[in-house]
Amino acid sequence: MEGSVSYLPVAPPAWARLARDDLTSYALVDPIPSRFSIGDQARCACGGAPKPSAPVEEKACLVFTTSRAFRARIEVRRCGLCLRCCGPDIREFGLFNYNNFRLYSHELLNSFTSCMANFEAPFHGFRKHVSHSYAEHQSPVPFVSDTTWRAVWFSFLRIQQLINSFACSKCGDCPEVLIFDGVTAGFAVEHCTGTLRPPTAREAADGPVRANVR
């Protein structure tokens, strides 16, 4: 799964938060800035920091929201580890910096999470819905492809702090009995990395093993 330029942790959507979630949520700023400064927390998608001698450059970028896209400018510096550029995190604007060219609002990304959780909206169906909204609002730039949208959403999940949200207020993180009712998300082979675990997974050394329980 490809990483993103944004790396600072992002809070779960408001409707999915628990009392113990203490991260700050950032709403989409209005108006959206026409230029994003690099700041002092710039990072590359590879995880590298800017090359000390690299000057600040400015390049064009696109900001995707729920109804339309906006053209803007963003400051970058060459990465010290690879041939790509480091850019600003921009979470304080309610935005997710995917690759210094395409920026996405948290509102848009959380909107798909809500649709998927509530009525199992597929990636393609949601992307078509957003594309129709872009056409209705006469967006100067069309929405992205299915493949790009899928990659962006999974990349966003890597920094969104949902890990501690899967818990029962009475039984804790790992209840003895689990009842599964349907599936809201499937993972393609390329997303099945060594760190992928179900929310209730336990290590082999944790707790008793019941041979008669399936």
CA angle 48–50–53, rounded 5-degree value: 140
Q: Are 47 and 81 in contact (CB under 8 A)?
A: yes
The answer to whether position 7 is within a domain reads no
The answer to whether position 91 is within a domain reads yes
The answer to whether position 196 is within a domain reads no
Give the tokens for residue 24.
Answer: 């700050």
Cα 58 from Cα 88, distance rounded (Å) = 12
pLDDT per residue as tens digits for the range 84-114: 999 999 999 999 999 999 999 999 999 999 9
Determine the pLDDT at residue 14: 86
Cα 32 from Cα 71, distance rounded (Å) = 10
- What secondary structure letter does DSSP report for 43? B
Determine the pLDDT at residue 100: 98
The answer to whether position 186 is within a domain reads no
**Number of domains observed in the structure of the chain:** 1
Among 22, 16, 24, 23, CA closest to 167:
16
Cα separations (Å) of 183 from 18, 122, 207? 22, 12, 26
Determine the pLDDT at residue 164: 52
Range of the domain at 29: 14-165
Q: Are 109 and 156 in contact (CB under 8 A)?
A: yes
Mean pLDDT, 10 residues at a time, over the chain (214 residues)? 88 82 86 96 95 96 98 98 96 97 98 92 95 98 97 94 67 75 63 69 61 60
The answer to whether position 176 is within a domain reads no
H-run or E-run covering 153: helix 146-157
Which residues have C-beta within 8 Å of that of residue 101, sequence separation ≥ 6? 59, 60, 61, 62
Residues pairing with 151 in the sheet: none
The answer to whether position 180 is within a domain reads no
Determine the pLDDT at residue 74: 98
Determine the pLDDT at residue 185: 57
